[in-house]
Structure 1
Amino acid sequence: MTSVANLLLEGSLPRLEVRLLLQAVLQCSLTTLISAPERRLDDTEIARFQALRARRQRGEPMAYLLGEREFYGLSFLTTPAVLIPRPETEGLVDWGLESSAPPESLHCLDLGTGSGALALSLQYHRPHWQVSATDHSAAALDLAKKNAARLLPPAGPVLRWYQGDWFEALPEGETFDLIVSNPPYIAAADPHLDRGDLRFEPRQALTAGPNGTEDLARIIVQAPLWLKPGGRLRVEHGYDQGEFCRSCFLRAGFTQISTRTDLAGLERLTGGQWP
């Protein structure tokens, strides 16, 4: 039988990735794994490890292989039905949390929630808020609900989930103090779609028309119908779409329009306030 030490030294994948795959196969912590390098895998465990290793060698994202990804300090179940939560989107949570300080209550909406990363991160840190979330995909909403059951206390806040296309999913008459969204913003012909993790992620959650701006424009134009006076809209966008988004916010009648950059200094988040 093959030992943990042998697999860590084989070199077919980076050692960190091998460790993570072994932890998934053996259902153990990193401390347990490295403290018992002589641990031998049985035939079933070897077969499972080899299957995961082969998938990783073909480029499949680690988040899908492991079934989870950390986002804003929380561990989210992640499947090919949803985008993989990414660090740059954490800035949207930071900005959203700045909208009020406890104990002020807000009605918040996450448009296109996917795994629920934005909605649940906001709800986790602001349990007194009323948070709603939408997604066009039933599979995505099912996963988001599972994440809610894992991450929120049983007697805690209850999110409202709506299936449908952006604002069309919402009941008539709903209004919000804060709307956040990380919509598709990659151009349909962008060559990056055929590289790296993007090859395996749901295409409909990545692309939005020839320029990647169709959903951003739609959300910004329609948001005033769903915002309370003084309500705020925050969106994530591509590094080269800041000027486009600011123009959309201005034409839609927003005030206090601003853009935030990521750690690399690239424009990634734009928001405004409804008068």
Structure 2
Amino acid sequence: MTVDLAPALSREAALRRLVGAFEAAGLPDARSDARFLTLHILALTPLDLSLRGREPLGAAGAEALGRAAARRLAGEPVARILGAWEFWGLPFALSPDTLVPRPDTESVVEAALGLFPERERKLRLIDLGTGSGCILVALLHERPRAYGIGLDRAQGALAVARNNAAANGVADRASFLCGSWLDALSGPFDLIVSNPPYIAAPVIATLEPEVRLHDPRAALDGGDDGLDAYRAILAGLARRPGLLSAQGALVLEIGYDQGPALTDLAQAMGFADVRVGRDLAGNDRVVTLRPSLAGR
């Protein structure tokens, strides 16, 4: 499906045409998607569109916006079309190896900052399965004396995360390492954070096509019950509790229905201090564990 965008068409008219096409196709966020694409593809600010919306698209603008609209109508998410998305008010480039950062994941950043509220405190932290690096970079942005490591199994994701750290001015305090969970690490860390894969494998086929077809499966698939990554992380800490400093914490994003299961799993592995936090929608979203392992 395509949208007819002639070079002589004004920017305002092009936006209206995109909205109409997206609504006709049943896209859930038709108006915001059309506006995002129009602004970004034409390199406009909202003020530009308001003041100069009657200017024609031009040949290059019409072609670029038409291609973007066709991709959206084919089901590709706006973030994938743009190759970038915002998280914590910061820009992040994306690649096929990385998830699109979600607002829910900002709950991990909020929980971690709440544990260490002193802005100038020195911290050593690691982001497991860093992907685009959004959690790590956001934390380093908020804690200017912190140093962090982003770990991921995908070299492509690490390249993107490294570039995102540079683009957001924290590259001098960030390192990136290829590895699986805690295996390649030596502590202690004050803070371990992660948004691991937590979708149960049988559920992936039922996800929206924008997620199922465009996000990397390795970043979604949490095994048969969605808990495989948590088991690996918690087992690694149980074996090597020294990876966390005495006042350190582990902060994990979870699925909205996984709070009880994660609490039970952590307690079964010897973690006594387990707390579940909620996102802005009131759903369980974050599990925080402090170093209160039996026998520590």
TM exceeds 0.5?
A: yes
Is the CA contact 2:137–2:170 (under 8 Å) kept in the aligned structure 1? no
SS in 1 for 2:213: helix
Runs of 4+ in structure 1 deviating by more than 6 angstroms, as ranges, are: none
Please give the alpha-carbon distance, in whole angstroms, between the structure 2 residues aligned to 1:104 and 1:178: 12
Segments of 5+ residues of structure 2 without an aligned counterpart are 1-7, 23-29
Q: In structure 2, give the amino acid aligned to 1:98.
A: G
Equivalents in 2 of 1:222, 1:93: separation in Å? 22
Amino acid at match of 1:38: R
User: Residue 28 of structure 1 aligns to a residue in which SS?
Assistant: coil
Once residues 192 and 47 of structure 1 are traced to their aligned partners in structure 2, the CA distance between those partners, rounded to angstroms, is 34
Q: Match of 2:199?
A: 186
Deviation, structure 1 residue 8: 1.9
2:58 aligns with 42
1:12 is the counterpart of 2:21: yes
Alpha-carbon shift at residue 253 of structure 1 (Å) = 2.1
TM-score of the superposed pair, with normalisation by structure 2: 0.86
Structure 1 position 3, deviation (Å): 1.7
Residue 119 of structure 2 contacts residue 142 of structure 2 at CA under 8 Å; is this kept in 1? no
Matched, 1:261 2:278: yes
Aligned residues of 2:198 and 2:254 also touching (Cα < 8 A): yes
Determine which of 120, 126, 145 is the counterpart of 1:103.
Answer: 120
- Specify every segment of 5 or more residues in structure 1 that has no aligned partner in the other structure, as ranges: none
TM-score, length-scaled by structure 1? 0.92
* AA of the residue aligned to 2:235: V
| Cα distance in 1, alignment partners of residues 84 and 10 from structure 2 | 25
Per-residue CA deviations over 1:37-68 (Å, capped at 9, x if unaligned) read 22112222211111110110112111111222
Aligned partners of 2:31 and 2:146: how far apart in 1? 42
Q: Does 1:160 align with 2:175?
A: yes
Give the Cα separation in 2 of the matches to 1:230 and 1:128: 17
The aligned counterpart of 1:217 is 231
Matched, 1:89 2:98: no
Letter in 2 for 1:205: A
Structure 2: distance between partners of 1:79 and 1:3: 32
For 1:199, the aligned partner's letter is L
> In the TM superposition, what whole-angstrom CA distance separates every residue of 1:149-201 from its partner, at most 9, and x where no partner exists?
111167xx42121011112243xx33211111100000111143353334211
2: CA distance between counterparts of 1:229 and 1:212? 29
Q: Residue 168 of structure 1 aligns to a residue in which SS?
A: coil
* Change in 2 beyond 3 A, CA 1:53/1:91: same
Computed over aligned residues only, the root mean square deviation of the Cα atoms, in angstroms, reads 1.7
Residue in 1 that maps onto 2:69:
53
